[in-house]
Structure 1
Amino acid sequence: MGAIRLLGAPAVGQGDGSRAPRGRKAWALFAYVLLADRPPTRKRLAEMLFADADDPLGALRWSLAELRRALQGVDLSGDPVVMTLGPGTSVDALVTTGDSTEPLLELSGELLEGIDLESCPEFESWLLVERYRLSAAIEGRLRETAASLVASGRAADAVAYASKAVAMNPLEQGNHELLVRSLAISGNRPAALRQVAVCADLLRRELGIEASAALREAADLGPGSTAGPALGGHAAAASQLEAGRAAIVAGAVDAGLQCLRRAVSEAEHCKDPVLRGRALAALGGALVHAVRGRDEEGAIVLHEAILVAEQAGDRSTSVLAHRELGFVEVQAGRRQTAGNWLTKAQELAETDEEYAAILGVRGMNSSDQGDYPAAFEQLGESAESAARCGDRRQKAWSLSLTGRAHLLREEYSQAATALRESLELVRQERWIAFMPWPQALNAELELYAGHVDAAADGFEQAWVLGCQLNDPCWEGMAGRGLGLLSAGRGDHAGATEWLAQAASRASREPDRYQWVHAHVLDAASTAALARDDEERARPLVNQLAEVAARCEMRELMVRAKLHHAHLGDTTAADSARLLATAIDNPALDTLIHNSS
């Protein structure tokens, strides 16, 4: 097999007649054509990599020929340039798109390590973002593999994958929790407790925060833990499942989780796989949505629900669990694994209710990435499907995200229409747990319309309710709005305080919604730069750039580049313009034009 290594120092495996191509730009060309979103034209490649040559297109032709000569089994041809890998040719950077998970443990190093082309700023910008993207994709596959192994009863095998995820991103508390859970369930409680201590010290030293309760409890509790002995009957399992669902909807989360855990145990005891799968899916969904900081346990429970549902032939439970795992990954900004789960869910879906929920999460994912045409199509279909089946909560959810997308594009009338209908549905449903989200978005519209008192009322209501619900996402959005309100009133000290609060609240849980976190960082960066407070702005902008790149939030990456340009980076503005060409947002185009 011809093995080509791009992670770490680029290299070519021995034994198939291949050799390393000559020149750093040849490796850069190979990696770009392989990993670019779409086949690049020769003109674009020549301008990006060979602009300093006397004959850029000639230099490109030579490099393409050198790659063909050096790498057996690799064909590069056409315009746009298309790469074809022959049978038996593998590239480590593509491991996240394959089915096999074993190669994940062998990967090391960042993309094109040691290859930096200072004379090619557009390529350097692409490489920086691609390094973050690939790292996040590999981390996502490691986490997915570990969770699946734990759910299938192979916790000891999961330890290696969870350990590598920790090594790749040691400041992500969820990775430590997954490792602790793998160790504890495999029977190695002393190692689990040591890992808790390692994580606690690291978080305290590097981030100034305390480890979550979920991390500490992971050393003792596994998925499907029950609150008492099984009673031994199908009726008991079914009643506990219904009681748990009702309690979660009513906001009695602790009681609901207790009932759902008991339902899992009862269903296993009476050997009813369909009921057990449904109880697992309900428990996993509750852990993901109803209580913060429990996504790691929820993901493992959902993996187990899929295994049980597939064995029982329960299609609807499998759809639900796949969708919920997709939602977890969307919130975390792990786009590739999110897409995999949601694609499988949509392939299995049959009903309007299922399609509405799946397309709603897909639309959220597309919007987070800055793909507005896809987001509007998916969210529109979601709202229509929800209306057909009478799912008013799903319709409200999808309309709120449609309103958010229009707000980000400064299409205020369309945003107001969507958010007004969303809020009305939320009120009709008395969906208090969701209310702060459309409230905060609608209050921002009021602020831009000059209705300052109405905006203040909306932001304050969203803040108070978000705090009562103890939801970091709602608190972050409302606190950001109150920061914008203070800045508009000329209260810069108040704006700084509110935006700092918003950033702290939005990121306090390990399973935070990364888009909200980055959105708040962008507002805080903007406010600091407006006051020429570079000392405060610089760490905020750097953090925004890293989160946006790692989570593939393209529009926020552009905004981070514009902030860096404000801070004196001479190449950042050009990078922002190049990145923005792939984003359909008139408001972003105006922002770039005004910053020139």
Structure 2
Amino acid sequence: MPVLSVRLLGPLAISRNDVPVTLPSSRKLRALLAYLVLAPHPVSRSRLCELLWDVPNDPRGELRWCLSKLRGALDAPGRHRVVTQGDTIALDLSDCLVDALEVSQAATQGIGTLDIGRLRALAKLFAGDFLDGLELERSPHFNSWLIAQRRRFHSCHVAVLERLVASLPAHSDEAIAHLDTWVELAPFDTCGHLALLSNLAGRGEAGAAEQHLASAERLFRSEELDFAPLRAAWQAIREQRPGASLRTQPAGLSTLSPLVATTPTAPGPVEPSHASLAVMPFVEESGGTRGGLADGFTHDIIT
């Protein structure tokens, strides 16, 4: 049987044996498909009408039209994937490749339990935001669901990158690329910045680290977030290494990409200033569950 693939992480796309399946240019159709893909149970027609249609003349008629188009895209001879029973609708995608379901299953299993091969495969699935580019007007219930799903998959992407960085040799090109992506995705995540600074320190690239720190500070201050703990943590990293081991390198020679000031879904784990901050651990060349300059290293920063 031909292999059917549904991509939701990035612009929605369907392919059969790597050949794109054309969908009508209906945003409601795409929204319906995505909602049914992730629905844990069959969904009633009334719920779908409420979710997607702003009281049109015939919401159930529009739903029937969308379902007929989904059948044309998903079904195969002898294989019906759009399942209706009574007033409910569900999708049977058990024999399909669905990126969002792969990530959801991995998250349920636990990202920290996955081997590096699975982590690499998951990282490649993230081609963009969940349903990238899809927005619906006058559909507040769907938009609320969409925002929640984008936040959830964004968090999964960051978790996969964090685990990959901890599992790879610290100075490998692959680890550095994942660090750059991590910081770009979560520019207010102090863990990502600390991992990147520690990695740069381990490679002796003090100039690149200082450049990144200055860029991060401007970004934090633009959002009126406390940057002092991150700067103090960088000082702690430097103090752990002899000055001779850090070489000043022109920023242009670094593999570090500029910090991207993207707007995050949420402010991130940065907290208001406290009396002290425990920083542990950092990225370590030998790898480990989280990585760092030394496993168990703790620096108490008094503010």
The 3 A distance-change label for structure 1 pair 144 and 37 is: farther
User: Which whole-Å CA distance do the structure 2 matches of 1:221 and 1:105 have between them?
Assistant: 35
Aligned residues: CA RMSD: 3.9
Q: Which residue of 1 aligns with 2:66?
A: 63
Contact 2:201–2:237 (CA under 8 A) maintained in structure 1: yes
Letter in 2 for 1:148: S
- Alpha-carbon offset, residue 29 of structure 1: 0.9
Q: How many residue pairs were aligned?
A: 242
TM-score, length of structure 1 as denominator length: 0.35
Answering whether residue 55 of structure 2 is matched by residue 52 of structure 1, we say yes
- Alpha-carbon offset, residue 208 of structure 1: 5.0
The 3 A distance-change label for structure 1 pair 162 and 44 is: same
User: Which whole-Å CA distance do the structure 2 matches of 1:85 and 1:207 have between them?
Assistant: 46
The 3 A distance-change label for structure 1 pair 88 and 305 is: closer
Answering whether residue 190 of structure 2 is matched by residue 166 of structure 1, we say no
Letter in 2 for 1:32: Y
- What are the Cα deviations for residues 231-276 of structure 1, in whole angstroms up to 9, with x where unaligned? xxxxxxxxxxxxxxxxxxxxxxxxxxxxxxxxxxxxxxxxxxxxxx
Contact 1:183–1:189 (CA under 8 A) maintained in structure 2: yes
Q: Which residue of 2 aligns with 1:385?
A: none
Higher relative contact order (CA 8 A, sep 6+): 2
- Alpha-carbon offset, residue 141 of structure 1: 1.8
Answering whether residue 200 of structure 2 is matched by residue 197 of structure 1, we say no
Q: Which residue of 2 aligns with 1:121?
A: 140
Contact 2:6–2:96 (CA under 8 A) maintained in structure 1: no
Contact 1:214–1:293 (CA under 8 A) maintained in structure 2: no
Q: Which residue of 2 aligns with 1:292?
A: 277
**Larger displacement relative to structure 2 (129-138 or 78-87):** 78-87
Q: Which residue of 1 aligns with 2:123?
A: 104
What secondary structure sits across from 2:91 in the alignment? strand
Q: Which residue of 2 aligns with 1:344?
A: none
- Alpha-carbon offset, residue 146 of structure 1: 1.3
User: Which whole-Å CA distance do the structure 2 matches of 1:191 and 1:93 have between them?
Assistant: 38
The 3 A distance-change label for structure 1 pair 305 and 165 is: closer
Letter in 1 for 2:47: R
- Alpha-carbon offset, residue 205 of structure 1: 3.6
Q: Which residue of 1 aligns with 2:166?
A: 147
- Alpha-carbon offset, residue 28 of structure 1: 0.3
Q: Which residue of 1 aligns with 2:156?
A: 137
- Alpha-carbon offset, residue 221 of structure 1: 4.6
User: Which whole-Å CA distance do the structure 2 matches of 1:192 and 1:69 have between them?
Assistant: 53
Contact 2:170–2:284 (CA under 8 A) maintained in structure 1: no
Give the one of 97, 101, 118 matched to 1:89: 97
The 3 A distance-change label for structure 1 pair 38 and 15 is: closer
Letter in 1 for 2:9: L
- Alpha-carbon offset, residue 166 of structure 1: 0.8
Q: Which residue of 2 aligns with 1:28?
A: 31
Q: How does 1:357-396 map to 2 (within 5 A)?
A: none
Q: Which residue of 2 aligns with 1:304?
A: 288
What secondary structure sits across from 1:114 in the alignment? coil
- What are the Cα deviations for residues 321-350 of structure 1, in whole angstroms up to 9, with x where unaligned? 9xxxxxxxxxxxxxxxxxxxxxxxxxxxxx
Q: Which residue of 2 aligns with 1:391?
A: none
The 3 A distance-change label for structure 1 pair 208 and 87 is: closer
- Alpha-carbon offset, residue 197 of structure 1: 2.9
Contact 2:123–2:157 (CA under 8 A) maintained in structure 1: yes
Q: Which has the higher helix share?
A: 1
Letter in 2 for 1:101: L
Q: How does 1:423-462 map to 2 (within 5 A)?
A: none
The 3 A distance-change label for structure 1 pair 305 and 167 is: closer
The 3 A distance-change label for structure 1 pair 84 and 162 is: farther
What secondary structure sits across from 2:92 in the alignment? strand
- Alpha-carbon offset, residue 167 of structure 1: 0.8
Contact 2:41–2:90 (CA under 8 A) maintained in structure 1: no
Q: How does 1:484-503 map to 2 (within 5 A)?
A: none
What secondary structure sits across from 1:292 in the alignment? strand
Unaligned runs of 5+ in 1: 223-290, 308-320, 322-468, 472-507, 509-596
Q: Which has the higher strand share?
A: 2
The 3 A distance-change label for structure 1 pair 108 and 16 is: closer
The 3 A distance-change label for structure 1 pair 217 and 135 is: same
- What are the Cα deviations for residues 415-456 of structure 1, in whole angstroms up to 9, with x where unaligned? xxxxxxxxxxxxxxxxxxxxxxxxxxxxxxxxxxxxxxxxxx
What secondary structure sits across from 1:82 in the alignment? strand
- Alpha-carbon offset, residue 14 of structure 1: 6.9
Letter in 1 for 2:183: V
Unaligned runs of 5+ in 2: 107-113, 242-275
What secondary structure sits across from 2:158 in the alignment? helix
- Alpha-carbon offset, residue 186 of structure 1: 4.8
Letter in 2 for 1:137: C
What secondary structure sits across from 1:180 in the alignment? helix
The 3 A distance-change label for structure 1 pair 130 and 33 is: same
Q: Which residue of 2 aligns with 1:7?
A: 9
The 3 A distance-change label for structure 1 pair 218 and 41 is: farther
User: Which whole-Å CA distance do the structure 1 matches of 2:281 and 2:119 have between them?
Assistant: 20
Q: Which residue of 2 aligns with 1:248?
A: none
- Alpha-carbon offset, residue 122 of structure 1: 0.8
- What are the Cα deviations for residues 478-533 of structure 1, in whole angstroms up to 9, with x where unaligned? xxxxxxxxxxxxxxxxxxxxxxxxxxxxxx9xxxxxxxxxxxxxxxxxxxxxxxxx
The 3 A distance-change label for structure 1 pair 86 and 18 is: farther
Letter in 2 for 1:83: L
The 3 A distance-change label for structure 1 pair 306 and 66 is: same
Letter in 2 for 1:81: I
What secondary structure sits across from 1:81 in the alignment? strand
User: Which whole-Å CA distance do the structure 1 matches of 2:61 and 2:280 have between them?
Assistant: 53
Contact 2:278–2:301 (CA under 8 A) maintained in structure 1: no
User: Which whole-Å CA distance do the structure 2 matches of 1:39 and 1:53 have between them?
Assistant: 23
Letter in 1 for 2:36: V
The 3 A distance-change label for structure 1 pair 96 and 221 is: farther
The 3 A distance-change label for structure 1 pair 146 and 306 is: closer
User: Which whole-Å CA distance do the structure 1 matches of 2:75 and 2:239 have between them?
Assistant: 52
Contact 1:96–1:138 (CA under 8 A) maintained in structure 2: no
User: Which whole-Å CA distance do the structure 2 matches of 1:105 and 1:184 have between them?
Assistant: 28
The 3 A distance-change label for structure 1 pair 206 and 53 is: closer
- Alpha-carbon offset, residue 218 of structure 1: 3.7
Q: How does 1:255-274 map to 2 (within 5 A)?
A: none
Letter in 1 for 2:277: R
What secondary structure sits across from 1:101 in the alignment? helix
What secondary structure sits across from 1:85 in the alignment? coil
